[in-house]
Every structure is written in C-alpha cells, then in structure tokens.
C-alpha cells in the first residue's frame, strides 16, 4: 500500500478526490438549502461565497452602505425556492452577462458583483483529474549506476 502513494500524482489525486467529494456533498445540499459565508474586507467592503440551487457563487461588495456588512466572518443557512428568488425582479440586480448557468450579476449602483457557476462545472473536471492521477501507471524510477 505504501508503494501506491509514492510520487506526487497519487498524493495530489487523493487530495483532489477529497475536494471533489466535498463539492459533490455541497452540490446535493444546494438543491435544498442556501448557504453563504460572508466576510468583511476593510471598513466598507465584504466578500463571500454562496451555494444555492446547484450553483456556487462568489460576490464582492465594494461599498458597505448598500449592503448589511457582517462585523466578522459569518455563516448563514436557510431553505429557499430557486436561485432567482434571492434576487427577485425589482431588486436592482440584473445580469451583466450570462452563458447558460454561468454569469455575472451586478446591482444598479455597481457596488455588488456576483459571479455564478454550476457545481457540475467544478465536480466533473475534478473527477476526471482524479481518475488520471490515481489510475495512470507511475513512471519507472531511474536507477543510478553504482
């Protein structure tokens, strides 16, 4: 068994497999629950990660006046209907660009930006990378003469 973990590819493959499994759990959970991790950055800025409707999003707030900024890093979870229910029509958010499930939303003041991508675009490439790293045969080691 020790021979299996010799070399960087197998060790990195196991770490990436753990990351893929964690993303898969979040992917399934995001179908039922909205999770977000919010963190302040400076006096009037914040950044965060949100997971909802089988999508993962990253957002940045550049002016704290338009957004209730957390005093410290904060985790919130609640049940919701759809991703679009987080930003209903008339909330001031509109798509700046969108391609399928990928996209960027921005509020009308330009202070809040949200980037969104589906979990499958993260999990499936990770699984492919894991398969290559874990299942490919390692190169034979070079033996030194002597």
* pTM for the model: 0.71
What proportion of the chain, given as a percentage, has pLDDT over 90? 18
Query: Residue 136 is inside which H or E element, if any?
Result: none
Residues 6+ apart with CB under 8 A from 131: none
Q: How confident is the model at residue 64 (pLDDT cuts 50, 70, 90)?
A: low
Cα angle for residues 97, 41, 105 (degrees, 5° grid)? 10
Contact assessment for residue 96 and residue 106, using Cβ atoms and an 8 Å cutoff: yes
Q: 6 by DSSP, 3-state: which?
A: coil
pLDDT, tens digit (0-9, with 9 covering 90-100), for 118-128: 999 999 999 99
pLDDT at residue 63 in the model: 74
pLDDT at 15 over 70: yes
Query: Residue 59 is inside which H or E element, if any?
Result: strand 55-61
pLDDT, tens digit (0-9, with 9 covering 90-100), for 65-84: 555 666 788 888 888 766 66
The dihedral region occupied by 83, where left means phi > 0, alpha psi between -120 and 50, and beta the remainder, is: alpha
């Amino acid at each position: 068994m020790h021979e299996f973990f010799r070399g960087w590819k197998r060790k990195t493959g196991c770490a990436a497999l753990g990351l893929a499994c964690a993303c898969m759990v979040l992917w399934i959970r995001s179908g039922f629950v909205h999770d977000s991790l919010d963190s302040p950055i400076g006096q009037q800025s914040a950044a965060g990660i949100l997971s909802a409707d089988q999508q993962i999003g990253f957002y940045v707030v550049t002016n704290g006046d338009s957004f209730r900024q957390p005093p410290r890093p904060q985790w919130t979870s609640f049940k919701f209907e759809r991703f679009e229910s987080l930003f209903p029509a008339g909330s001031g958010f509109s798509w700046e660009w969108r391609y399928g499930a990928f996209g960027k939303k921005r509020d009308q003041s330009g202070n809040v930006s949200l980037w969104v991508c589906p979990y499958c675009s993260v999990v499936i490439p990770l699984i492919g990378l894991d398969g290559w790293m874990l299942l490919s045969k390692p190169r034979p080691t070079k033996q030194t003469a002597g």
